Amino acid sequence: MESLDEILRQAEAAHGHLCAGQILGVRMALLGLARLGIADPRAADRKRLVTFVEIDRCATDAIALVTGCRLGKRALKFRDWGKMAATFVDLSTSRAIRIAAREDSRELAARLYPHLETKSQQQMQAYRELPDADLFTEQWVRAELDPADRPGYKAPRIVCARCGEGVNFGRVAEVGGEQLCISCAHPGLRYWQPCDPPA
């Protein structure tokens, strides 16, 4: 991998700004890759890794950048748990490590860098300099991936009997003998509701 500074430059360009969350995310991803022994996630090792992220904040963009895992490649899995944590899964060995940011690292940053003006500056400095053990907890875990959740898995699409929209494998519910999409089978789960067009 490139140096931390070089990766942070790329993260800044991709994310639109450099922030404490970016630095923390970059460090978290580098630690995960190091523990798994994955040296080149964006090229030679690009099919080895799946990453679960547990928050939709700045750090997640950085993790996607460093690991090369993207939603559109099915290699980035989002669990909306609001936690600054990620699990890195090596598909070639089935080893997985979950890494979480330590909640006390913010206080540590304030204690160590009181001369820096803002919390954000203190955190950015801390996240650049402190050893991994001060920033993260880590745990080896098992994270079973259903074959259908792996990148590259292929299966036929189904057409919903009610709305006529196509649905990828595994996202269909059988209701009264009909194959329905989730939105037709469970309207209560919809994130949208039909309404009149804007005037």
* 64 Cβ contact partners less than 8 Å away, ≥ 6 residues apart: 51, 53, 70, 71, 76
Out of 58, 59, 75, 85, the only residue in the binding site for Zn ion (CB under 5 A) is 58
What 8-state DSSP symbol labels residue 71?
G
Tokens standing for 17?
């700004």
**Shortest distance, CB of residue 167 to Zn ion, whole angstroms?**
7
Q: Determine the Cα–Cα distance for residues 1 and 52; give it in Å rounded to an integer.
A: 21
Nearer to Zn ion, 61 or 90 (CB): 61
Tokens standing for 36?
């798994």
Query: At residue 131, what is the residue type?
Result: P
Under the binding rule (CB under 5 A), the answer on residue 85 touching Zn ion is: no
* Best CA proximity match to 87, nearest among 135, 131, 53: 53
Under the binding rule (CB under 5 A), the answer on residue 59 touching Zn ion is: no
Under the binding rule (CB under 5 A), the answer on residue 172 touching Zn ion is: no
Tokens standing for 135?
């920033």
The residue range among 107-115, 135-143, 176-184, 190-198 that interacts with Zn ion, by the rule CB under 5 A, is 176-184
CA distances from 183 to 57, 112, 171, 186 (A): 27, 51, 10, 5
The residue range among 39-47, 128-136, 142-150, 182-190 that interacts with Zn ion, by the rule CB under 5 A, is 182-190
Q: Give the contact letters, 14-53, x = binds to Zn ion (CB under 5 A), - = no.
A: -----x-x--------------------------------
Query: At residue 5, what is the residue type?
Result: D
Query: At residue 74, what is the residue type?
Result: R
Nearer to Zn ion, 106 or 162 (CB): 162
The residue range among 33-41, 65-73, 132-140, 180-188 that interacts with Zn ion, by the rule CB under 5 A, is 180-188
Out of 112, 162, 173, 179, the only residue in the binding site for Zn ion (CB under 5 A) is 162
Instruction: Enumerate binding residues for Zn ion (CB under 5 A).
Output: 19, 21, 58, 160, 162-163, 181, 184
